[in-house]
């Protein structure tokens, strides 16, 4: 899977972390699924100078054709770089990085021209600030010589904490709405605390971590950075701490020292404070969209047109356009089917041809008036034939209907007489010798009450005039009763109260 994604990579980069004891190299490919580490190498110093060790670790990688022209990012140790963030005065808004560095250091013995300096401006709060990094050219000279022996120039030279922060943000993005945060990177024997705002580093603090005193060292660095946060342009000290690395330290937030801080901790397995994770973050900094401080800005080669293109955005836009095209095509096909159906229907109405829109509107108005009149006529009528059919259908074979009477008062447009409609059924059913009313009567009434047609026109169904008797011819006992179906009485509107 890794090899397949490597072939689909839109770019490649190499991150080289310069350590005090060894060098670590990371090969990263920018795939459609994100940055992917394709390989990693480690080369110990063994007492040799840096310009000798760099060719040993870099030359075998550059011999491979895919990595021959890959940009290279160099990471410098924490203690080898000067970094500071200070508020910018209104008179120094356009000042050069060397001038701001001189004001920060305030040393007459320091020659600024002997240092490589870079600066980036930001505004984490109400006051704009400038972040400055610097290192001596004497320190960078052997590194550049080692790269020159390999026939390459660095695309990025930055402190290791910047690369760690980049790798951490890639894995665990900062929550939206978070103005500032603290990120702690834990290593085997030491750690790094970093104050960030808008995912940009403002300050960091290196600290040792003796065994068994890890929580004390972490809390001490956090308190120090929170106390100084307002000097770095942060209006409100951060209340969220992101801890990366050393997953075996499970109970950092369950110690008395941590509970006294009243801060919220989010724990992650990586990246840790080590050269391998730093090298991966360095390679990510070679991406065309990456922004930040760079001590080799003047030496950075021009990016190719392919690297400058936002391929990710182009891919998303192409996919969006394809989905929109499919959606619109489906809508067009449905519209064409509807048009065809309308044309087919119009072939059966030849009288429409040759008539203007005005004539059709008049015809529509005429038909509307007719349908309204028919609706008003049928809406206040009861279909007695259908009602009688509904009455006769559920009638048991043992029951007989002696008389059927219908009653209706005629009204006019102003007086609705719908409630005066009545259907009366005189019925007879045989009974047993004990005189008990047969269950067929209840069954018949339930069937009538469940009829949709009767409930619509004559919903009030009642049983009345119940009496017992004997047939004069057969001398069998029977029960006679009357079933009344009446329309529902409309409520009269309340009379308006007169004002006194």
Instruction: Note the pLDDT tens digit of each residue in 232-267.
Output: 889 888 888 999 999 998 888 888 888 888 888 999
- Which contiguous run of DSSP H or E holds residue 116? strand 115-122
**Cβ atoms within 10 Å, residue 141:** 12
Q: Note the CATH number of domain 384-486.
A: 3.30.70
CATH class of the domain at 2-309? alpha beta
Please tell me the pTM assigned to this model.
Answer: 0.62
Q: Same CATH fold, 384-486 and 2-309?
A: no
Burial of 338: CB neighbours in 10 Å, binned 0-12, 13-18, 19+: exposed
Q: Write out the chain's pLDDT in tens, 500 residues.
A: 677 777 778 889 999 999 989 999 999 998 878 889 999 999 999 889 999 999 999 999 999 988 988 999 999 999 899 999 988 876 666 777 777 777 777 666 667 778 889 988 888 888 889 999 999 989 999 999 999 999 999 999 999 999 999 999 999 988 888 888 999 999 999 999 999 998 899 999 999 999 888 989 999 999 999 999 888 889 888 888 999 999 998 888 888 888 888 888 999 998 999 999 999 999 998 875 667 888 888 776 666 666 566 666 788 889 999 999 999 999 999 999 999 888 888 787 777 777 788 888 888 899 899 988 888 877 767 777 888 888 888 888 888 888 988 877 765 545 555 567 888 889 988 887 777 888 888 888 888 888 888 888 788 888 888 888 888 888 888 889 999 988 877 666 565 555 54
**24: three-class secondary structure by DSSP:** strand
By the 8 A CB rule, do 80 and 19 touch? no
Domain boundaries, the chain: 2-309, 384-486
Q: What φ, ψ does residue 448 adopt, rounded to 5°?
A: -70, -40
- Model pLDDT for residues 52-92, shown as the tens digit of each residue: 999 999 999 999 988 988 999 999 999 899 999 988 876 66
> What is the secondary structure of 141-202 as a DSSP string?
HHHHHHHHHTT---SEEEEHHHHHHHHHHHHSPPPTT--EEEEEEE-SSEEEEEEEETTEEE
Give the list of residues 6+ apart from residue 247 with CB closer than 8 angstroms, or none. Answer: 267, 269
Give the closest residue to 285 by CA, choosing from 97, 28, 50, 19: 28
């Amino acid at each position: 899977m890794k090899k397949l994604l490597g072939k689909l990579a839109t770019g490649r980069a190499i991150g080289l972390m310069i350590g005090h004891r060894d060098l670590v190299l990371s090969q990263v490919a920018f795939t459609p699924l994100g940055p992917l580490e394709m390989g990693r190498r480690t080369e110990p110093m063994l007492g040799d100078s840096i310009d000798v060790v760099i060719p040993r670790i870099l030359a075998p990688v550059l011999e491979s054709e895919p990595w021959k022209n890959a940009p290279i990012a160099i990471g410098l140790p924490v203690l080898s770089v000067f970094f500071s963030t200070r508020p910018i005065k209104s008179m120094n808004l356009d000042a050069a990085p060397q001038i701001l560095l001189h004001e920060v250091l305030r040393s007459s013995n320091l020659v600024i021209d002997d240092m490589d300096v870079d600066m980036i401006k930001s505004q984490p709060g109400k006051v704009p600030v400038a972040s400055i990094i610097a290192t001596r050219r004497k320190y960078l000279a052997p590194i550049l010589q080692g790269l020159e022996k390999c026939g390459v120039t660095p695309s990025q030279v930055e402190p290791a904490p910047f690369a760690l922060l980049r790798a951490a943000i890639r894995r665990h993005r900062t929550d939206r709405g978070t103005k500032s945060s603290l990120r702690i990177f834990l290593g085997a024997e030491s750690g790094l605390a970093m104050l960030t705002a808008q995912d940009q580093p403002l300050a960091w603090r290196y600290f040792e971590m003796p065994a068994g005193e890890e929580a004390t060292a972490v809390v001490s660095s956090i308190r120090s950075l929170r106390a100084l946060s307002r000097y770095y342009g942060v209006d409100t000290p951060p209340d969220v701490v992101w801890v990366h690395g050393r997953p075996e330290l499970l109970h950092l937030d369950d110690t008395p020292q941590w509970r006294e801080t009243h801060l919220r901790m989010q724990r992650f397995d990586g990246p840790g404070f080590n050269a391998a994770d730093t090298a991966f973050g360095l390679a990510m900094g070679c991406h065309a969209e990456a922004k930040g401080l760079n001590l080799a800005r003047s030496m950075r080669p021009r990016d190719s047109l392919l690297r400058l293109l936002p391929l990710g955005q182009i891919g998303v836009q192409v996919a969006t356009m394809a989905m929109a095209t499919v959606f619109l095509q489906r809508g067009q096909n449905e519209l064409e089917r509807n048009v065809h159906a309308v044309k087919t229907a119009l072939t059966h109405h030849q009288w429409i041809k040759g008539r203007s829109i005005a004539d059709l509107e008049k015809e529509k108005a005429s038909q509307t008036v007719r349908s309204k009149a028919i609706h008003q006529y049928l809406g206040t009528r009861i279909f007695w034939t259908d009602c009688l059919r509904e009455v006769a259908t559920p009638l048991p074979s043992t029951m007989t209907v002696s008389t059927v009477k219908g009653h209706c008062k005629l009204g006019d447009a102003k007086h609705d007489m719908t409630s005066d409609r009545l259907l009366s059924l005189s019925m007879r059913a045989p009974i047993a010798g004990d005189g008990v009313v047969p269950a067929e009567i209840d069954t018949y009434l339930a069937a009538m009450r469940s009829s949709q047609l009767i409930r619509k026109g004559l919903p009030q169904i009642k049983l009345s005039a119940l009496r017992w008797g004997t047939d004069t011819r057969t001398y069998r006992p029977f029960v006679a009763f009357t079933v009344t179906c009446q329309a529902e009485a409309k409520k009269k509107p309340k009379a308006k109260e007169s004002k006194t």
